[in-house]
Amino acid sequence: MSKPSFVRRAALLFGFAFLYAPIALLALYSFNASRLVTVWGGFSTRWYVSLFENEQLIASAWMSLRVAFVSALLATVVGTCAAIALTRFGRFRGRLAFSSMIYAPLVMPEVITGLSLLLLFVALDIPRGFWTVVVAHATLGMCFVAVVVHARLITLDRSLEEAAMDLGATPGRALLSVTLPLAAPSILAGYGLAFILSIDDLVIASFTSGPGSTTLPMRIYSQVRLGVTPEINAISTILIAMVALVLVAGLALGLTGRGRRA
């Protein structure tokens, strides 16, 4: 079965080139001394320097990190609860509606999610700011956490939990001391996913944030609309490098998230 391996190698090469070439070019041109995109004006780190002098950008980056940290935490707690309910509570009443609501946000167009949450906050007369973005992101994030953790929980051998109960543990105790530790990698992956989703999001944040809670993607977006600048390349490269670092660390630890589960 080695004959068609040339075709398969070509498919891999083409596919990954398509995925990575734009990102690589972006990173490359962040070190371009020239302001023009197509002209290589020599190696320079001037855009990184000007980046760190841009206080607005720094402030919104800090805002994004805080939002992501808190919303991912909320998403992980509530999402893990949802995953446990889906896996361990049998056929409870309303299970279908429950799991439908878990899966729907994964594909729901962001403009709808953003608009509906904004209208909720307006209706409840809640001033928009840090916490409204956190809640919006946690809502999206919990669904991803639930799906990732659920996928792990259903592969866990039920008899491990039963063994714990047989040895005198209450169901709750068995869950805490056997199941959750075994599902820990997926819970961690879920947290990472929720964090990335939050830090990545433009649309929902645009709807639900208020003055003074501008996130990094919102700032980048408003700059991009004004045209391509090497400064954006620089901050993009930093973000990509951070993600790459986390991924490599995760791989080294043997914890790999699975993205949107198929």
Partner 1 sequence: MNARRSLAERLVLGAPWLWLIVFFLIPFAIVVKISLSEAALAQPPYTPVFDLSDGWEALNRLGDLSLSAYAGLADDWLYAQAYWSSLRLAFISTLFTLAVAYPLAYAMARAPLHLRPILVVLAVAPFWTSFLIRVYAWITILKDEGLLNHTLLSLGLISEPLHIFASDTAVVIGIVYSYLPFMVLPLYNAIARQPPELIEAAADLGASPLAAFWRVTVPLSASGVLAGCLLVFIPAIGEFVIPDLLGGSDTLMIGRTLWVEFFDNRDWPAASAVAVVLLGLLLVPMALYERSQMAEAEA
* Interface with partner 1 in residues 163-202 (CB under 8 A): 172, 196, 199-200, 202
Joined together, the tokens standing for residue 203 give 């649309």
- Write the interaction track for partner 1 spanning residues 199-218; mark x where CB under 8 A is met and - where it is not: xx-xx--xx---------x-
Closest C-alpha to 260, from 105, 65, 153, 58 = 105
Chain residues 77-96 in contact with partner 1, contact rule CB under 8 A: 77-79, 81-82, 84-85, 88-92, 94
Would you say 160 or 242 has its CB closer to partner 1? Answer: 242
On whether the CB atoms of residues 258 and 193 are closer than 8 A, the answer is no
Would you say 123 or 167 has its CB closer to partner 1? Answer: 123
How near is the Cβ of 52 to partner 1 at its closest, in Å?
18
262 binds partner 1 (CB under 8 A): yes
Quote the DSSP letter at residue 124.
Answer: T
How near is the Cβ of 225 to partner 1 at its closest, in Å?
8
How near is the Cβ of 55 to partner 1 at its closest, in Å?
21
Binding partner 1 (rule: CB under 8 A), the pick from 34, 45, 56, 256 is 256
Chain residues 100-159 in contact with partner 1, contact rule CB under 8 A: 100-112, 115-117, 119-120, 122-123, 135-136, 139, 142, 146-147, 150-151, 154
How near is the Cβ of 213 to partner 1 at its closest, in Å?
16
Would you say 163 or 247 has its CB closer to partner 1? Answer: 247
Would you say 49 or 224 has its CB closer to partner 1? Answer: 224
Tell me how far CA of residue 67 lies from CA of 62, 104, 138, 160, in angstroms: 9, 23, 9, 37
User: Any bridge partners for residue 43, and if so which?
Assistant: 32
Q: Is 254 left (phi over 0), alpha (psi -120 to 50) or beta?
A: left
On whether the CB atoms of residues 76 and 199 are closer than 8 A, the answer is no
Would you say 33 or 115 has its CB closer to partner 1? Answer: 115
73 binds partner 1 (CB under 8 A): no
Chain residues 9-68 in contact with partner 1, contact rule CB under 8 A: 9, 11-12, 14-16, 18-20, 22-23, 25-26, 29, 37-38
On whether the CB atoms of residues 178 and 160 are closer than 8 A, the answer is yes
DSSP code string of 200-227: H-SHHHHHH--TT---HHHHHHHHHHT-
Would you say 26 or 58 has its CB closer to partner 1? Answer: 26
How near is the Cβ of 38 to partner 1 at its closest, in Å?
4
Contacting residues for 187 by C-beta, under 8 A, at least 6 apart: 76, 80, 145, 149, 180
Residues in binding contact with partner 1, number by CB under 8 A? 96
Closest C-alpha to 127, from 135, 64, 137 = 135
234 binds partner 1 (CB under 8 A): no
User: Any bridge partners for residue 32, and if so which?
Assistant: 43
Joined together, the tokens standing for residue 152 give 């792990």
Length of the chain, in residues:
262
